[in-house]
Structure 1
């Protein structure tokens, strides 16, 4: 078994890391999915780490039955893309979701069949700066594996062979569900508090108040994970993200800085729903959710009041 063709759906930060690595495989057909204006833009190339890359650009129909589909979309773009994913996936297609969160595999599996989905995650600290930039040496990279034995399945070995000698960092895991939840914990606890304060990640070392908020979010997430049978102690060595400087902004703050919608529904929004279903209180996540939603509204101009505003106010 060999992978001869790979399609990437979502050519942002994560997709750029995959394009950067897989472009070195000379016997591989590598394409990104795009149609209309997006396709036209992608055909102009992808600027990554000061170099231009030119993967093929395919429609979902042209990518049908590709050997490997890598889904690296923002969470809000996943459901609108499900028809395209269904078109791409053929009898022999393996799907790897490198999205944030803990439910993208389930959402995709409901459309194409769980047998096509190989659970995976990625840890890459990337920033948009004249294209996308990341430190290839310090990037932790891709973690993937089967949910149950045999863990060294034929498709796992095939993916390993694909990634070998590409520059991509990767490893397999026999506890992939716990690995995915461990990354989810990193995102919720590290991504969200700094986004509210609007400062670099050094805040978690420098402020006891930020640590307090971070700890409250962590305790709620771990209580939900435990109730769902996810034993995070199995992956105690997988609790760190890719190395970043103290001034770094994670994705939620990057989105707010750029006045884009965030993925807060995937983070705290998902935990609030799970907590409600399981009877587990999530006050830290509820407060964080509504604060970040309000910051999104601020970016949209909802609070751009002026002195001529006719609404009455009452001062006490």
Structure 2
């Protein structure tokens, strides 16, 4: 199966690299600095204390998806519509598009631009770009995929690459669960500059996270979403399983890049306003990250 990864950042390079290492034909579409490094010496895939060089094709423009039977869409949430429009003319009519983005509404937004179905995917992995064309894996790696119409072939492809994946009709519910986790961790990790394990031990942080979860839960319930059972315990327990992980928001802020805060805590704030539900803690975190972005800019 020919695979294209649109948005070869940490998530895209990790899954694309695993698929390519297992023998799939993979093209990574991303920034020039990463693509140039990948073309020169392959993708560096660092995991389990070892670094593997993986031969994989690279492209810097959206026509890199041409001919792909499976497209992993991994761009930042704020770029969804623009990149979708760039990609649309190059998609095969029968290509399956999997949306591996943060947030809960990206698959719908991308589907509206493409005029075709897009499959939501909840991604549970800790990764970062350690340098040009160099992805570092910190933990986990499971995928929860909505029905695709080609479930058996896609699951077999992922299994051959050692990727744990399953299909669920409630992928959107899982994405809401992941949204709650991101709302609790991302901004706080970015603003404190701390990895999860150290961050959660700071006095007051756990209480703030509980407040975030309570607001998110109220908004989800009012939206008709049943969050995974034990969501609070799952949130508070994540720090122990990923103690050294910095959030993607922290990584973006450190590198001076726009964050996805408006699609995380900001999404909860906006939906809360629509539903008449107050979300003061989420609003404060969104505002502080926006302020931090402004400070980095100038």
**2:253: which partner in 1?**
256
Secondary structure of the residue aligned to 2:277 is coil
CA RMSD of aligned residues (A): 2.5
**1:265: which partner in 2?**
262
Equivalent in 7, 18, 29 of residue 33 of structure 1: 29
**CA distance 1:197–1:156, shift in 2 (3 Å):** same
Q: Does 1:134 align with 2:137?
A: yes
**1:56: which partner in 2?**
57
Q: 54-63 or 173-182, which moves further after superposition?
A: 54-63
**1:246: which partner in 2?**
243
Q: How many residues were matched structurally?
A: 288
Q: How far apart are 1:16 and its partner, in Å?
A: 1.5
Any gaps of 5 or more consecutive residues in structure 1? 147-152, 302-316
Mapped to 2, the partners of 1:211 and 1:36 lie a distance apart of 40
**CA distance 1:62–1:268, shift in 2 (3 Å):** closer
Equivalent in 206, 210, 216 of residue 215 of structure 1: 210
Alignment of 1:87-126 (within 5 A): 87-115=89-117, 117-126=118-127
Asked whether the equivalents of residues 123 and 140 of structure 1 are also in contact (C-alpha less than 8 Å), the reply is yes
Secondary structure of the residue aligned to 2:157 is helix
Secondary structure of the residue aligned to 1:164 is helix
**CA distance 1:23–1:184, shift in 2 (3 Å):** same
**Which structure has the greater CA radius of gyration?**
1
Mapped to 2, the partners of 1:6 and 1:34 lie a distance apart of 14
TM-score, normalised via structure 1 length: 0.82
Secondary structure of the residue aligned to 1:30 is strand
Asked whether the equivalents of residues 178 and 235 of structure 1 are also in contact (C-alpha less than 8 Å), the reply is no
Mapped to 2, the partners of 1:157 and 1:241 lie a distance apart of 31
**2:178: which partner in 1?**
183
Deviations 1:206-254 (A, max 9, x none): 2341112111211111111111111014585976659755343111112
Mapped to 2, the partners of 1:249 and 1:57 lie a distance apart of 27
Equivalent in 279, 290, 293 of residue 296 of structure 1: 293
Q: Does 1:192 align with 2:187?
A: yes
Q: How far apart are 1:169 and its partner, in Å?
A: 2.2
Q: How far apart are 1:43 and its partner, in Å?
A: 2.5
More strand by share: 2
More helix by share: 2
Mapped to 2, the partners of 1:196 and 1:158 lie a distance apart of 42
Any gaps of 5 or more consecutive residues in structure 2? none
Mapped to 1, the partners of 2:97 and 2:18 lie a distance apart of 18
**2:44: which partner in 1?**
47
**1:284: which partner in 2?**
281
Asked whether the equivalents of residues 200 and 239 of structure 2 are also in contact (C-alpha less than 8 Å), the reply is no
Deviations 1:179-212 (A, max 9, x none): 1111111111111222222222124542341112
